[in-house]
Amino acid sequence: MTEQEPAPVEDADTDAEAPTLTDSDAVNTSLRSPEQRSRTFTGILVNTALANVTTSYLWFALTFWVYLGTRNVIATGVVGGAYMLLIALSSISFGTFVDRYRKLAVMRFAAGFTLVMFLLSGVMFLLTPAAQILDLAQPWFWIFTLIILVGAVVENLRNIALSTTVTILIEPDRRANANGLVGMVQGLMFIVTSLLSGLSVGLLGMGWTIVVALVLTALAFAHLLTLRMPEELRAAATDAQGGFDLRGSLAAVLAIAGLFALILFSTFNNFIGGVYMALMDPYGLEMFSVEMWGAVFAIGSTGFIVGGALIGKFGLGANPLRTLLIAVAVMGLLGAVFTLREWAWLYVAGIWLYLVLIPFVEAAEQTVIQQVVPLPRQGRVFGFAMAFESAAAPVTAFLIAPIAQFWIIPYARSAEGAAQLAPLLGEGTSRGIALVFLVAGIILIAAALAAFLTPVYRRVSASYARAALDGPGLRQPLDE
């Protein structure tokens, strides 16, 4: 990544004065009108959508293919948990890179790296028999999975950069709406990838699925090379140090009163997300064929678009944090009830409503950070948030997958267990998974409601209200 050398350190102090860090020569929003900047953001958003669709398409396909080849929920838990764990381990570095380099340079690097990794996965699949790749006792499974997951994880580098481009390109009073559009893009990603991944694995096989992913990744990379963002004259002066600035990331978070609590609140849904990551696909694949499950999940994923569209139209209200916690509490309720009976319509409806709420959680966090954190530190704050939140999901995924596989599922399928669970969860082959969903949902509801009673909730809400009244914009005097 040689387009832009790291910006010089202008102020390495990390105390309470950090939020005033400025670099008035780095970004100039007066070069174009808000409408022109909005069109550029739309182009970046569309390109990111194509890239995210491609990486998720291959990741979903890998999950489906591994489960169908092994019928082992530990395998899906490993794939999903490893993905989130890699994101958690790499996000601090990703945020540091975003702060030190131009945003488009970061996006181009991520796209090129992902293309190389997917190419390596195709070569390995071509040279290694599928039976060996699907053998969890062989190293080929771990190598093949790691190559694909690393390529998909590096693509998340551009998602951090995308959040900072909202700050650069979108007016402050429209950022919540722009973050809602990002949620719509995520919904489109889930719809397309879940549908196409199921069809690809069922009809084309894993080999041709990799070929399709390679072609789409190359197209996204080529399109990204044509985009321009003249407002960013150079990388903003930043106090980011090295390639893994954990100290600076933590200082940037702690410099804003209550910001760590905001990240903690946003993490609530990730704990239950780890449970879903490990068990949602096995539950669906027991109920539907792989082709049908892909289509069913695509239908449920239209909830993402509805949620993002609602935010794009109406915003998040005067207090995005309140909106976030309400959404998390309702998500817990849905997670507790959408598998109380093994009914396809209940499962699909629960998934749809759950995914309507995810954009509200993500957009609320992003809007608060964009409002109160200065641009030269937003990359590390977003990276720290992604690392902290992503770490929650693999913890629960790695814990729940073996517990479900070896104890809960066998117990629920035994004659004694089935009889005891029938009054609460009905009858069916997946009552053990349903029991896990019920307990996880109840825990999430309790955590979200308890957060409303904390002093830090009131403090963060007040900080956001003050920042909104001050109209901080980029927290830099760009047009003076």
The length of the chain is: 480
Q: What is the pLDDT of residues 100-152, one digit of tens each?
A: 888 888 899 999 999 999 999 999 999 988 888 888 778 888 899 889 989 98
One-character DSSP codes across 202-219: III-HHHHHHHHHHHHHH
Q: What is the pLDDT of residues 374-386, one digit of tens each?
A: 777 778 888 888 7
Query: Is the model more confident about 200 or about 255?
Result: 200
Q: What is the pLDDT of residues 275-286, one digit of tens each?
A: 776 788 788 877
Cα 180 to Cα 203: distance, rounded to the nearest angstrom? 34
One-character DSSP codes across 218-252: HHHHHHHTT---TTB-SPPP----SS--HHHHHHH
pLDDT at 3: 41
**In one letter, which amino acid is 396?**
T
Strand partners, 151: none
What is the average per-residue pLDDT within 226-252?
Answer: 71
pTM: 0.67
Percent of the chain with pLDDT over 70: 83
Task: Tell the residue number behind the tokens 């830090």, with chain if given.
Answer: 456
Q: What is the pLDDT of residues 61-81, one digit of tens each?
A: 888 888 887 777 677 777 777
What is the average per-residue pLDDT within 207-216?
Answer: 91
Largest CA distance in the chain: 75
Residue 476, phi then psi, degrees to nearest 5: -145, 140
How many alpha carbons lie under 13 Å from residue 399 in its C-beta half-sphere? 13
